[in-house]
A and B are shown apart, each in its own frame.
Chain A
Amino acid sequence: MFRPRPDAPAATIAVEVEGQAVTVPPGASAAAALLLAGLATIRETPVSGSGRAPYCMMGVCFDCLAEIDGVPNRQSCMVTARPGMRIRRQRGTRTIDPNDVPGDTPSFPIPEPRSGGA
């Protein structure tokens, strides 16, 4: 859990983390918003499903992967929080939505998403 330092100026960027309203200062990352929201974990690994939270905060470790404005697997520590941004936890691998594929019907089989524990 993180909190604003006592003498911090008022945070002005309002974002939504898992449906919860969180306000961070201008220039703060989406990962900072995730940490401020107080979630126990911010993602689950594709391999074992274990819970993770940001480790390095500088774009190296990829443990802060999150879904930002509907785009999965973003490095949330490298994305600056913008007003109204919707940030969600990343659960395992991303999935492919057949409706996202341009054209009529996808001409290739879409694999079932890999589940945790694989």
Chain B
Amino acid sequence: MSVDFAIIGAGPAGMAAAILAVEFGLDTLLIDEQDGPGGQIYRAIERAETDPSASSSLGADYLAGRSLATALRASGAEYRPATTVWHIDPDGTLSLARKGESESITARRILLATGAIERPVPIPGWTLPGVMTVGAAQILLKTADLVPDGRAVLAGQGPLLYLAALQLARAGAPPLAVLETTPHENYHAAARRLGGLWPGRRALGKGLALMLGVRRAGIPVRRGVHGLRALGRIGLERIVWQGGEIAAEHLFLHEGVIPNTQISLALQLAHHWDEAQLCWQPSIDEWGRTSLPTIAIAGDGGGIAGAEAAALSGRLAALDAAAALGRIGEAERDRRAGPIRAERARERAIRPFLDALYRPRDSVLAPVDDETIACRCEEVTVGQIRRAVRLGAPGPNQLKAFTRCGMGPCQGRICGPIVGAVIAEARGMPIRDIGTYRPRAPYKPITVGALAGMGAAE
């Protein structure tokens, strides 16, 4: 099978790109690992359409994703759900797996719209059952109508923390407390970035409404929390921090989101360390073009800017693909891009303020306590990483040989950001000079049977 334009990820960026690409006559294939469109932000959005009770707890911003999903279904783009991309060759060959069977397709242009992952929050005890991410709580609510049973605490920072607290309260499971980890000095840093507040006033208004909503729901908020630990024998029993503790069965952690760079790093696209967002980002231009001419990136996978900006960057990438494949001229591309770019600039205006306000503490990136697990899969602690550095491991990829860190089933997705920061701290060097893992295909595990079947079919 061969297509003009293959898009990976059916979140806002991927959906918007597919809808527009079809309008220009591009033979478009949208591939996604989930069962339905929406990505994580609009997860299970088509389900919410038929269930008014879900809509009431999840809120208007979430339901805004419905129009994209509806337009995608009507667009004529080929949409393949429940499909995993496990390898991409820079020549445009994609290897896909679905239901234990693998196949290979080719595309003239590829758009990675693989979105964001939650920043790992390595605290002592974060592998205990009962400790999850805030995003996980939202996904359970969106996809399975589940809420935590028993005492739940949300800890960390960022708009999602307050949104999730409010969603859980509306769904009949108000958290016992919100522990906000924002350091006091962040308020001063954010105050120096007020320039984006006027263009970003809509986002700011939403954020303030969320915080007010949490207060009105009677959920206690503790500020300036640091030194978090999760304690328990089989599962979580107690949460302890500097100057406080609380008994709970659930702890949901959140320190913002970072680009999902698994595929872009495996492709060895150019990346850079972003000091404002404290994460590795693929180096892209205003159209989402990467260092490989056939591959572009749209949405949070190219730098965190939120769902609205993601959809707009998806549209820009679709315009550029249409121009590159000769469906429109560059003049038309630029003319159509003008208003989209202006809107994206408005959506992005609040980011410098948010990035400064919700900048994680150094100890979130590189945990202080040596006993903290960095690699959840191989159970490698921060202390073991520091010891390996003393023995001469210079960077994340060499660390694998010393400790097996990053060599478990998640392929370094979770520990990658942690090991970079721990090594940088141990060596007294900036993270950008330490680098990060070089992931390899298969991007997700596939069975030997699927591989063998692929050969037989060719």
Contacts and interface: CB of A to CB of B under 8 A. Distances in A.
A29 interface: yes
Given A2-B148, A45-B379, A29 B33 contact: no
B36 interface: yes
Contacts of A32: 140, 143-144, 146
Contacts of A50: 127, 379
A73 B145 CA distance: 25
Nearest to B414: A61
Contacts of A47: 378-379
Interface in B113-137: 117-118, 126-127, 129-133, 135-136
A104 B141 CA distance: 49
A6 B172 CA distance: 6
B53 A57 contact: no
Nearest to A24: B144
A28 B140 CA distance: 8
Contacts of B16: none
Nearest to A55: B132
Interface residues of B, number: 51
B413 interface: yes
B85 to A, nearest CB: 12
A60 B146 contact: no
A110 interface: no
Interface string A47-88: 110111111111111110100000001010110100000000
Interface residues on A, range: 35 or more
B136 A58 contact: yes
A108 B314 CA distance: 50
Nearest to B126: A55
A107 B82 CA distance: 36
B445 interface: yes
Interface string B392-419: 0000000000000000111001100000
Interface of B: 33-36, 40, 44, 47, 51, 53, 57, 82, 117-118, 126-127, 129-133, 135-136, 139-141, 143-150, 171-173, 234-235, 249, 260, 376-379, 408-410, 413-414, 444-445
10 contacts: A2-B149, A3-B146, A4-B145, A5-B145, A28-B146, A41-B129, A45-B379, A57-B132, A61-B413, A75-B444
Interface of A: 1-9, 11, 24-29, 32, 35-36, 40-42, 45, 47-48, 50-63, 65, 73, 75, 77-78, 80
Top 8 closest pairs, chain A to chain B, by CB: A53-B129, A28-B144, A8-B145, A32-B144, A57-B136, A62-B409, A3-B149, A5-B171
Given A29-B144, A47-B379, A55-B376, 7 more contacts: A2-B148, A32-B146, A35-B146, A41-B235, A53-B130, A57-B135, A61-B410
